[in-house]
Amino acid sequence: MIDPHGRHISYLRVSVTDRCDFRCVYCMAENMSFLPKADVLTLEEIDRLCSTFVGLGVRKLRLTGGEPLVRKNIMSLVRSLARHLESGTLDELTLTTNGSQLPKYAAELFDCGVKRINVSCDTLDPDRFQAITRWGQLQQVYDGLEAAKDAGLKVKINAVALKGVNEHEFDDMITWCGDQGFDLTLIETMPMGEITGDRTDQYLPLSLVRNRLRNRWTLTDIDYQTGGPARYMRIEETGQRLGFITPLTHNFCESCNRVRLTCTGTLYMCLGQDDSADLRTALRNSEDGELLVQAIHEAISRKPKGHDFMIDRRRTTPAVDRHMSVTGG
């Protein structure tokens, strides 16, 4: 699949649920209204959609949420999708998680062919962790990370950079990740969905963070790619990688190879645009899959060149109405 700007679409991010057992302040409102279960695709329908994308050239699938591992019977989907790894039509099956459910699922994920995962953890301070996640406990994440390591999963920590909240912790996080053998990616907060609080108070440019980190760490540019938007450097003192996802200070649109599918079958061609395509109707009205393939091609033909993200005190509404939990980033 080639979009109008010549980019090959090879990466599908799939939100299997909008529900989560945490309530992170930059992702959700505290009192969220979740989708009625009747509106959510069955796991079999998600499998069929993913498999159609694989047939059209997608080489990487990432399961997201909400928190993907709170979806009932989620491992049946993971095990079914693993057949594409075995056949060689898919290069990677992975997921992004908050880590809370990994003690239960890490070993089975590895057994299904998942080799690496992203775990969201914005702070190493238990009180601050609870303040950011509202419902979470840091020990849950630590237990999940231990289970992931024991299972053989490679781990990358994702941390959203929040001004005045965790910006003084990045040196400690780099040291901790080095000790644990984890890579680390820092992410700028994104203006998605109405949340409690002012995003302009949260926004921390990673260009500033990178310059600060250079005062302590030797950071070397490297060509490492995972298929996602992060730009990576090697931390010479630890040997681990440090990634930066910078949708505002240095966007990644020119090389975007991704589209995002929600748990209701809505396809978003861009994280920072509201334009979307209804694939659920095509899926349910296309026994042979032809209507679905046509709908996917039509959607890809509308993929924009870039997003409209901006964080500014003069602009009080988010760039897009949907919360981060709808597409999982």
Contact between 100 and 22 (Cβ < 8 Å): yes
Residue 268 CA to residue 41 CA, distance in Å, equals: 16
Q: Which amino acid is at 231?
A: R
**Architecture of the domain delimited by 11-327:** Alpha-Beta Barrel (3.20)
Lowest average pLDDT, out of 20-29, 179-188, 277-286, goes to 20-29
Band (313; pLDDT cuts 50, 70, 90): very low
pLDDT of residue 290: 95
pLDDT value at residue 251: 59
The whole-angstrom separation of Cα 304 and Cα 129 is 36
pLDDT tens across 181-224, in order?
Answer: 999 999 998 765 554 555 567 789 999 999 999 999 999 999 99
Digit-coded pLDDT (tens) for 150-171: 999 999 999 999 999 999 999 9
Q: What is the DSSP letter of 34?
A: P
Q: Residues with Cβ < 8 Å from 32, sequence gap 6 or more?
A: 23, 323, 325
CA–CA gap between residue 326 and residue 93 (Å, rounded): 20
Residue 60 Cα distances to 56, 118, 128, angstroms:
12, 14, 34
Q: What are phi and psi of 93, to 5 degrees?
A: -120, 120
For the chain, the structural domain boundaries read 11-327
